[in-house]
Amino acid sequence: MKRMLSGIKPTGRLTLGNYIGAIRNFVAYQDDYEMFVFIANMHAITVPQDKAELKKNTKDLIALYLACGLNPEKATIFLQSDISEHAELGWILICNSYIGELQRMTQYKDKTAKGETGITAGLFTYPSLMAADILLYDADFVPVGVDQKQHVELTRDLAERFNNRFGDTFVIPEPLVTKVGAKIYSLQDPTKKMSKSDENPKGTIDLLDEPNVARKKIMSAVTDSIGIVQYDIENQPGISNLLTILSSLTGEPINDIVHRYTGKGYGDFKKEVGQVVFDFLTNLQLRYKEIISSGVVEKVIQDGNEKARHIAHKKVMKVKKKIGFQIF
């Protein structure tokens, strides 16, 4: 069975973008791959985090993984900071990364271009840590939204560089980006990614949003004056985004939805999207609440950590030997 690995940062609350671009696919793939899914809390601290909030977001993320349908019998779910090998291999890979290639990473480039101050060294080097996350587990595939593809490509470069220098050590992973929904856009500015860190809460649907509030956000989503429900990302980014959301949540192909709305206006269309999002969140939150009150979260992580630690430890020992850290 081929192996697959991915993770999400517990910063802020999870969005519908995280679900459609990432979690939905983890769930779909867990039957056919050996699946590893983790909570990337070491990545979260590349920007300042409040201790209590970080703890809550971490627990929520584990519960949401389960509520979305990840099955701990099939998928290994673990907490990054509990496996110290991530930091160990992360450092070794930082020492094999060039400043130039890290400077080309979009997130860092965007932040510096905006003139943001207080950017940490961790934010600059985090793609190398992400490479360690992936390479520790010999992942063949990494399912991610389109914004993370660049990091998986860097991971491939670092793995190849290391293998060339020290001999065959790492599996070269491939990014797996879904055809529909690899980038869900803000409801208020449909040219921008829907993001946990958006300052305008109306642009983002949180998985823990009150379902009625989420419906209202869909109803007030920015569209256009063309008046035809069709997929045209250039001229109708708002409507195209809503089509993607509806298709991802129902499985109905975009073309079929467009066909159903021939000659109809945006009002009816938004109502349907709003209802589907409402139902989706209602069911999800019901399961989330059950999971939180059942206390299962701790056990899931203990079991997952144990399995992950064993694999990560073996890989780091191999790496240490290859680079000359093991002297006896």
Query: Which residues inside 23-52 make contact with ligand TYM, applying CB under 6 A?
Result: 40, 43
* Binding map of ligand TYM across residues 145-184, x = CB under 6 A, - = no contact: x-xx---------------------------------xxx
- Least distance to ligand TYM, CB of residue 324, Å: 27
Annotation marks residue 314 as catalytic:
no
Q: Is 228 exposed, middle or buried (0-12, 13-18, 19+ CB in 10 A)?
A: middle
The residue among 8 and 249 lying less far from ligand TYM, judged by its C-beta, is: 8
* Count of residues near ligand TYM by CB under 6 A: 25
**Closest-CA residue to 22 (of 45, 46, 39, 43):** 39
Using rule CB under 6 A, residue 8 touches ligand TYM: yes
Among 13, 24, 156, 193, binds ligand TYM (CB under 6 A): 193
CA 116 to chain centre: 24
One-character DSSP codes across 24-49: HHHHHHTTTSEEEEEE-HHHHTTS--
- Least distance to ligand TYM, CB of residue 11, Å: 7
Using rule CB under 6 A, residue 72 touches ligand TYM: no
Q: Where are the alpha helices (DSSP H) in 226-265?
A: 237-250, 254-260
Q: How far apart are CA 17 and CA 147, in angstroms?
A: 11
The residue among 86 and 270 lying less far from ligand TYM, judged by its C-beta, is: 86
280: Cβ–Cβ under 8 A, 6 or more apart, which residues? 249
- Least distance to ligand TYM, CB of residue 118, Å: 18
The residue among 157 and 228 lying less far from ligand TYM, judged by its C-beta, is: 157
Tokens 């001999």, located at residue: 167
Tell me the pairing of strands 141-143 and 174-176: parallel
Apex 153 CA angle, 173 and 166, nearest 5: 65
Using rule CB under 6 A, residue 90 touches ligand TYM: no
The residue among 61 and 261 lying less far from ligand TYM, judged by its C-beta, is: 61
Q: Which two tokens stand for residue 272?
A: 């349907």
Annotation marks residue 217 as catalytic:
no
Annotation marks residue 111 as catalytic:
yes
Q: Which two tokens stand for residue 197?
A: 């860190």
Among 4, 13, 17, 41, binds ligand TYM (CB under 6 A): 17
For the annotated catalytic residues, the residue numbers are 111, 193, 196
Q: Which residues bind ligand TYM (CB under 6 A)?
A: 5-9, 17-18, 20-22, 40, 43, 130, 133-134, 142, 144-145, 147-148, 182-184, 193-194
